[in-house]
């Protein structure tokens, strides 16, 4: 049986990838999941998986740094990079025939990746990391670095709830909704208000974890239960921990094609 390791510091996305792989490639044995680059290197050395799915941005070492350290190593795995970066970076990977998955990967896209990996395993066994020279990895790292926004990722939100000011972890947020001069932050416990414009929130949130589904609405992907159609034909998002259903504008319907 072929073996694989998944390295991603976002546990929900690592679990999602493992579930999708189990559906597409039942014979593939996921031998470990690492949540930082240091553990990824250690587990690759200990377990020698055939394939490594490496998140580009991880604590400890990035996915590119992990791949660089594997160059020349005995039994180095086939590398699949996982990225939340924009199309410019995806194009760079495609030009160099490096496989990648754009977060969150659709079942169709992951299926093409699986087919490619099966062919590589049949033809060549274990090469050096995806056949990548160190110079190419450095070039890709530079391209990725150029495309990063200056805004740091948002981890905590200071919000008003009644007469109190709360510090809310982004992990608690189910969705944001723009309302006049404020933005409402909805969690399982209730609603709070912030003055940060929705446009600024979009730029600060991880696009793999939060989807804008409407001009005034951003939803945490992990809290999406599914979609339904109302009597007017509109697509509405159902939430796991709240009863309201949120409309999706036409510009964002492509996000739900796999649902």
pTM of the model as a whole: 0.54
DSSP string for residues in the chain = --EEEEE-S-HHHHHHHHHHHHHH-TT-EEEEEESSHHHHHHHHHHH--SEEEEESS-SSS-HHHHHHHHTT-TTPPEEEEEE---HHHHHHHHHTT--EEESSPPHHHHHHHHHHHHHHHHHHSS-SGGG--HHHHHHHHHHHHHHS-SSPPP-EEEEEETTEEEEEEGGGEEEEEEETTEEEEEETTEEEEE-S-HHHHHHHS-TTTEEEEETTEEEEGGGEEEEEE-TTS-EEEEESS-S-EEEE-GGGGGGGTT-
Over its length of 259 residues, how does the chain's per-residue pLDDT go in tens digits?
899 999 998 888 888 899 999 999 999 999 999 999 999 999 999 999 999 999 888 888 888 888 888 876 777 888 888 877 655 455 545 544 357 787 778 889 899 999 989 988 887 655 444 445 555 556 556 655 544 444 456 778 888 888 888 888 899 999 999 988 899 999 998 999 998 888 888 878 888 889 999 999 999 999 999 999 998 889 999 999 999 999 999 888 888 875 5
């Amino acid at each position: 049986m072929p073996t694989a390791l998944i390295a991603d510091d976002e546990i929900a996305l690592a679990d999602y990838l493992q579930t999708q792989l189990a559906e597409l490639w039942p014979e593939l044995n996921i031998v470990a999941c690492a949540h930082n680059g240091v553990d990824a290197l250690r587990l690759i050395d200990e377990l020698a998986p055939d394939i490594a799915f490496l998140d580009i941005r991880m604590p400890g070492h990035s996915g590119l740094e992990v791949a660089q350290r594997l160059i020349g190593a005995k039994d180095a795995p086939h590398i699949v990079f996982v990225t939340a970066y924009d199309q410019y970076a995806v194009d760079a990977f495609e030009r160099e025939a490096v496989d990648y998955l754009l977060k969150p990967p659709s079942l169709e896209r992951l299926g093409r990746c699986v087919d490619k990996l099966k062919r590589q395993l049949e033809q060549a066994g274990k090469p050096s990391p995806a056949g990548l020279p160190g110079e190419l990895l450095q070039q890709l790292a530079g391209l990725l670095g150029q495309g990063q926004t200056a805004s740091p990722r948002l981890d905590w939100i200071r919000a008003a709830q009644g007469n109190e000011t709360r510090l809310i972890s982004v992990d608690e947020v189910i969705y944001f909704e723009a309302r006049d001069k404020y933005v409402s932050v909805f969690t399982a416990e209730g609603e709070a208000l912030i003055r940060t414009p929705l446009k600024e929130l979009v730029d600060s949130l991880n696009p793999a974890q939060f989807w804008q589904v409407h001009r005034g609405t951003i939803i945490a992907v992990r809290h999406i239960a599914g979609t339904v159609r109302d009597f007017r034909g509109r697509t509405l998002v159902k939430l796991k921990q709240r009863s309201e259903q949120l409309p999706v504008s036409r510009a964002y319907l492509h996000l739900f094609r796999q649902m």
